Amino acid sequence: MLYFSGNKLVYLSSVNQLNFFEMNFFVSISTLFIQFIFCLSAFGSGPYGKIDIADLVLIYQGGTHRPMEWTKDQFLPYVVHENQQGEKNWLFDGFLFLEFKDGQGRNYAPGYDKLNARKPEWEWLLDRRFEKDKAFSALNQCIEEQIQEIGAPGFKHKLISGIPSPILNQEDWGEIDGQKLDFRKQEDRLTAGKWYIDRFLERYEQENYQHLELKGFYWVDEDVRGCADILIPLGDYIRSKGLQFYWIPYWTAPGRGDWAEYKFDFAWIQPNHFFNKDIADERLEQTCAFAREKNMGLEMEFDGRALADHESGFSTRLEAYIDAYEKNGVFEQASIAYYEGGNGVYRFSKSNNPKDKALMDRLAKLIIERKDKRFLKK
């Protein structure tokens, strides 16, 4: 007869031995059960968060400091992936347009530049979103051209747009209907947020993008300091328009696990592992457990440093994300947001290094297969 004693498999040759070890047997079973329960809790108490966007790529667009103008040609490797065998498949099904600063000295969220964006900078950002042959327009054109080449996708491309933050205590934002707004007041910050949403929707409806489905708005503040009091009413206003409110807090962000209490409709958690070589891969395991506990999606993070020829050697850090997310069932179960540094996917697509092509083929294969076979089909 076989049984476990501690961590050893023991053979019992007689009934007497069985009686002798009977108490140890039950102690061992109890210990194993406790360890099993502990392991379950370590991997989170529930499923990952999942919505009708499988793979949401972050498009940093608007500021003059950005390396991309986001033309249809620049969007191509984000819309369709061509592997080393020349096979083409639809890639990201979701696109999040966001911006933190205008590149000219003013920020759309606190802490990114010296001065806060005012109403003219908010209007300028709106114009950038709807600029002809760039941003939304270029993405729609790119999808149209690829439909003609490889056929229609099995999904509609989803669109989310960031909302500039009405930054607490700002007094120089400007006026609405002749009334000067004072962001020391909650109602004035809400007024500005609602104004932006209304202006955005007016512009969006005029464009009638055939291949894009607007899903909602994204809160660009990555923690809740200075804005917690307006999140619930602002989210309610967004939902009154038939849309949803999204968030991606950083790993140590105040309020990161309380996203549902602030009435965000969905949130992804940032591991913040890629950027610092001193952060061990264990962070990715911790993030997977946290996402399951809080029913969140996860963010995958990389930038141009993941290219094989980069002196940092950070390609292994991107590989660590892929390994951890495969191991922990993220690709099968969770919505994923992709931070790629503003042009990472584009730079991979232009690389002639076989290592870069192999790495992007690996990631793209997981993205493509989960939409075709698993994620969006469930």
Q: Determine the Cα–Cα distance for residues 71 and 59; give it in Å rounded to an integer.
A: 12
110-154 tens-digit pLDDT: 999 999 999 999 999 999 999 999 999 999 999 999 999 999 999
Residue in 94, 133, 132, 128 with CA at minimum distance from that of residue 108:
128
CB 81 within 8 A of CB 360: yes
DSSP states along 161-214:
EEE----TT---S-EETTEE--TTSHHHHHHHHHHHHHHHHHHHHHH--TTEEE
Q: Determine the Cα–Cα distance for residues 319 and 329; give it in Å rounded to an integer.
A: 15
Pick the CATH number of 52-374 from 3.20.20, 3.40.50, 1.20.120, 2.60.120: 3.20.20
> Which phi and psi (to 5°) does residue 60 adopt?
-80, 110
pLDDT (average), residues 17-37 = 41
CA distances from 223 to 74, 125, 178, 252, 318 (A): 31, 22, 32, 9, 25
Q: What is the distance in angstroms between the CA of the first residue and the CA of the last residue of the chain? A: 44
pLDDT band for position 37 (50/70/90)? very low
249-280 tens-digit pLDDT: 999 999 999 999 999 999 999 999 999 999 99
